[in-house]
Amino acid sequence: MSRRSFTRAFKRETGMGVAVWRQQVRLLEALSMLSTSSAVTTVALDVGYDSASAFCAMFQRAFGVPPSKYAF
């Protein structure tokens, strides 16, 4: 299957593009990690962000609060 065929099929099956899906998976994993009192910087790097600030910006856009407010 070509890359283009895969991305079309993926969008048809899931209703979202691969990049959006990947972002959602990263954020869900981050929520799980934050709930175990992991440091925000550690979570950011572990889920694949290049910096804590990029992670914090994405988290804020997605959930409306910074990750430091979510951590238990």
Splitting the chain (72 residues) into consecutive groups of 10 residues, what average pLDDT does each group show?
A: 93 95 94 90 94 95 90 60
Contact 36, 46 (CB under 8 A): no
Domains, the chain, ordered by start: 3-70 (1.10.10.60)
Confidence at residue 70, expressed as pLDDT on a 0 to 100 scale: 75
- Global pTM value: 0.80
Confidence at residue 69, expressed as pLDDT on a 0 to 100 scale: 84
CA dihedral angle for residue 4, residue 14, residue 16, residue 58, rounded to 10 degrees = -120
Whole-number Å distance between alpha carbons of 14 and 66: 28
Contact 43, 33 (CB under 8 A): yes
- 2-6's contacts with Cβ under 8 Å and 24+ in sequence apart are none
